[in-house]
Structure 1
Amino acid sequence: TNAVLVIGLDTVEQGHDHNTLVAWTREGTVGWYHKRGLVPFSEYIPAGWNRIAVRGQSQYSPGKGSQLIRAHDLVLGGFICQEVLLPALTRESVRDGATILITGGNDGVFAHPAVAQAHADAAQLRAVETGRYVVRAMKTGISAVIDPQGRELVRSRSSEPAILAALITPRSEQTPYVRFGEWVVWLFALLACGTFLFSPPPLIFVFE
């Protein structure tokens, strides 16, 4: 089989703890992605705040760079949990060559169920921005496969076990956002504001 198995694990590399996606094929381990956008006071204690740390609390180190996973003819770009809210990370992965984006996590650590939906919505935005399929497998939350137009091809119910299947295709083209970054967003925002400010006033007809 040419299957690729990806699992979220705590790992240790060179004495540093990481929150990690690890990928296997039948040949063995083919790559991993260490989470980059760590949550302060949850996944690490910022410098100067060590006095409030709880014994046994996670103290992860961030990964460096896009850490693409190459398996068969796929180039996988990973992101974990709330990194779905950080478009710069997925943009970097795609610029470096990711042909599919994969993500996992645990939305159960957040108190309100609306957070799971917000993260699922953000995953759709990441798909559109990068022009990539997003495969999202959550321990708790909403799992889905999202196409480059932001449509959910399949979707689980929130926090319920599910097996999802969808046909996806690796993609190599780059969207304007991937090529040029945030200034594209600001340019469109300025154009929209300019259209509103400088458009002629509406004609008002009064009939007596």
Structure 2
Amino acid sequence: MRGPGDEVPASPESSEDPARARSGRIIFLNGTSSSGKSSIAQALLQILDGDPCFHLPVDAFHAMRARREVSCEAMPQLLRRTWKGFHRAVAGMAAAGNNVVMDHVLSEEWRLLDCLGLFKAKEVVLVGVHCSLEELERRERERGDRPPGLAARQFHHVHAHGLYDIECDTTTTSAMDCARQISNFLPHQPVPTAFEQLTAALRPDLPTAD
């Protein structure tokens, strides 16, 4: 019996040319704080068929940071580095052939532009997670672990790019029902994907994918 730290014998796949390795799918959930992204992600992990998915939430990356005081002047750059590292971790997992469910808050344009330059656009399913502002504020008060008004500040920015493969609304729809909508959509994702269209429109500097 092997332990967690024991080496696993090399398989034929381990010698595969990295340039030809299968890229994993990224299910990209975008919505404000408290919109239900993480709950949808957890539901997706329960119902998706095929290879196991990994849920990579951006909150987990913020939580990894050492618990020490950071000045107001230094915080914006620290947060930017955290977001950029999160993007690259997701890209790396997918490049290694893993399917990923990520949740994000595209409240600043540079975040989307950075992701467009990192992810294989045809393998991204961009999901808009909507919720009414009234319900977001109610959830925020109930949770008590978010700065008051955070969702309201993000509300008019998160979906500004305006294009998705599929959208869901958690105001009255459960996370599991939203996950089922997404799962049922996956075999029918159109071409070009939303990410391919956004790349063409917003990142013309990038080389065209084969």
- Structure (1 or 2) with the greater helix fraction: 2
Q: Which of the two has higher C-alpha Rg?
A: 1
Q: Which has the higher contact order (CA 8 A, sep 6+)?
A: 2
**Could you state the TM-score of these two structures normalised by the residue count of structure 1?**
0.38
**Could you state the TM-score of these two structures normalised by the residue count of structure 2?**
0.38
- Structure (1 or 2) with the greater strand fraction: 1
